[in-house]
Structure 1
Amino acid sequence: MMKMKFTCRGTLDCDPESWEGILSFMSMKPPYEAELNARGSYFHFLFGKHAYGNYLCIPNWGIGMELATLTDGFWNRERLCESGLSAVDACSVTEALAAMSEYINL
C-alpha cells in the first residue's frame, strides 16, 4: 500500500489555514480506492469513471456524487459541502483528490 503526506490548504474561513493529510492508496487501478486521515477525520474513497463522467463515493460518510476532474477543487468542494461535509473536511478531501492526480489520470 502506497502512503503519502500532503498539505491541505483550506479556505479563508478555516483555522488553521493549512494542515497535514495522510493518504493511503489501496488500489491503483479502476475502481480506485484510498483512505485519508486529516484533522481527526477518516475517509474511505472509491472513485473512477462511469459512462457519463467521474464519480466519488465515501461510504463511511454516506456520500456518493459526481466528480469533476481530480484537480477541480472549487466544483468538488462545493459538491462535498452540499453532501454534508464541513468546510474543513471538504477541503481535506479536495486536496487529497488533487494530490492523487499526480498518480491517477481520470
Structure 2
Amino acid sequence: MITFTCKGKGCSPRQWEGSLEILQRGNPCEAELCARGSRFHLIVGKHSYGNYLCIPNWDVGTELSSLTDLFWNEERLRHYGRMKKADACTIVSALKVLAEHGCMN
C-alpha cells in the first residue's frame, strides 16, 4: 500500500491523503485508489498513439498525456470524465505516483 498526498488547486482542503495499491504491473497497470471517501479502480496502459486510463466503476475512459502531466490529465478527466475537480486531482496525483513506482515497466 502506497500512501501519498493529493493536491488540488481550487479544492478545499488544498491537500489530502490518498492510498494506492498496485494490483498488476505492466501494460496495462491496474491499481486501487482510495481518497476522500471515494474508491477508483484504475487501469492505465499504452497504445500506439499514447497512454490511456479506464476507470470501469466510474464509467470513465480517456486518453492521457504522460502520467506526470497533472494539468493536461486533470483537464481531460474533468472534460471527458465529467468528474468533480477533487476526484480528478486525486486521480492525476495517483497517476504520478504510479509513474514514480514504475507501474507500467
Scaled to the shorter chain, the TM-score interval is over 0.9
Q: Deviation per CA, 1:3-54, whole angstroms, max 9, x where unpaired?
A: 100000111x211100000000000121100010010111001111111111
2:25, 2:48 → 1: CA distance?
20
TM-score normalised by L of structure 1: 0.93
- Aligned pair partner of 1:54 in 51, 57, 73: 51
User: Take 1:49 and 1:15, find their aligned partners in 2: how far apart are those partners?
Assistant: 33
Q: Which position in structure 1 is the counterpart of 2:95? A: 97
The alignment-based identity, stated in percent, is: 50
Give structure 1 regions of 4+ aligned residues with deviation exceeding 2 angstroms: none
Q: Mind listing any 5+ residue stretches in structure 2 that lack a counterpart? A: none
Q: Report the RMSD for the aligned CA atoms in angstroms.
A: 1.1
Q: How far apart, in 2, do the equivalents of 1:103 and 1:22 lie?
A: 14
TM (norm. structure 2) is 0.94
Q: Which of the numbers 16, 19, 33 marks the counterpart of 1:22?
A: 19
The amino acid of 1:71's aligned partner reads T
* Count of residue pairs the alignment pairs up: 103
Code of the aligned partner of 1:65 = T
